[in-house]
Amino acid sequence: MVHPLHPLRRPRRMVTPGEGGRPRQVVVVGAGMVGLSTAWFLQDHGIDVTVIERGDVAAGASWGNAGWLTPGLTAPLPDPAVLGQGLRALLDPSSPVVAPRTPSPRLLRFLTGFARHSTTRRWRAGMSAYLQVNAMALGAFDRLAEGGVSEPTHEADPFLACYRTPEDRRFLLEELEQMAGAGQDVRFDILTGEEARRCEPALSPTVGAGIRIHGQRYIHPPRFMDALAASFRARGGTILTGRTVTGLQDRGESVEVADDTGITHRVDAVVVASGAELGDLTRAFGVRHLVQAGRGYSFTVRARQLPSGPVYFPAQRLACTPLRSPTGDRLRVAGTMEFRSPSAPLDRERIDVMAAALAPLMDGLDLHERQEEWVGSRPCTTDGLPLVGGTRSRRVFVAGGHGMWGIVLGPVTGQLLAGLVATGQLHPALTPFDPTR
């Protein structure tokens, strides 16, 4: 809940606003990939940045995701094919897309808006909106590496999408062709099951068809987020964890950011990158677009033979990523789109469904000894486009609503938004993502 600032709280940390309208001190709300990337790139502009996070660094969707850097696959989630599956899939406990049997009025509004945007015309418009940021996405990761983020990105070689039958892959092939036709840089090969298993021997004989997608990367999410936070701190940044921001006030010459410890931070600008709950803080500044938590699940297992690259099973909505570590290599299995409250507890049935779906598709997995079982909330919008840019206040900015693409687009979002905050100049790539649209 957002509370007004109370005049009797402890004295504020005073900050002199930047001269000439250029901010000198900024607060970023949220220490996920989007928030930390924005904070890091703000430092490139000589800005003193404090990040306030209600949990720990990467405590939300940035920690337990698949870690895929796949601009070749990044597209709006509302899609005619998704809508064609109907509401029955939402109510099927074995489905990878799940909603409560009695949806709240808010969720019903979200699903209605999502359905309204699931048309071919709107998908094409959304795909056009993504083209520029997709083209810049991997370059932003390279900039982080050049600037001192020590954890590397890895070439996804191979990156395979696998199916039981050639017919099953028809939808993704059509989507890839549509994306390429819209101008997306995506190159792929069509594989037989035997060819897919030669590329990746960990696949079982059940896999009868595949697609090999070129030019993608992946990361080890926890290690990358730790490295990004360490680099931000080494460059002079401050991260305050275990604090919840409770209110924002634009005072004209500054913006006041109140947290639940009773401290109010007076700074030149604030960036709200708090994931699925960003609307709570920004609604008063004209951000009315509904953001819904699309919760994803993951776990890790030992593998007799760890895949050499990411493996995607689209029909089951399962993303498998090899996580190599000096303490032991493991396979991360991520999936599910569950429309529930971000605060709802982990539903172990979701993990069981994922493990059962994966068992016949890969050999040598110890699915009974699962570790790091996790759930986190992806912030989804009804039109499938993120909310990145300014608000009705010239001191309040927003970065969120990326759905499944917050990892791959987090750094480029931060890079472009930092430029807007620091200079007032809006990069054309951000125009379609106006938070007040």
Give the tens place of pLDDT for each residue, 2-60: 333 333 233 333 333 444 568 999 999 999 999 999 999 999 999 999 999 999 999 88
Instruction: Please provide residue 58's backbone torsions phi and psi, each rounded to the nearest 5 degrees.
Output: 60, 30
Q: Please give the pLDDT value at position 4.
A: 34
> Residue 385: which of 399, 398, 402, 397 has the closest Cα?
402
Residue 144 confidence (pLDDT): 98
pLDDT at 338: 93
> Mean pLDDT score of the chain, rounded to an integer?
92
pLDDT tens, residue by residue, 213-242: 999 999 999 999 999 999 999 999 999 999
What does the pLDDT read at residue 91?
55
CA dihedral 224, 363, 198, 334 (to 10 degrees): -30
**Cβ(392)–Cβ(436) under 8 Å?**
yes
Confidence of residue 79 (pLDDT cuts 50, 70, 90): confident
Distance CA 157, CA 42 (A): 33
H/E stretch holding 381: strand 371-381
Whole-model pTM? 0.92
More confident residue, 59 or 369: 369
pLDDT band at 89 (very low <50, low <70, confident <90, very high): low
In this predicted structure, what is the pLDDT of residue 160? 98
- pLDDT for the residue 93: 60
In this prediction, residue 97 carries a pLDDT of: 77
At 189 the pLDDT is: 97
Residue 326, pLDDT score = 86
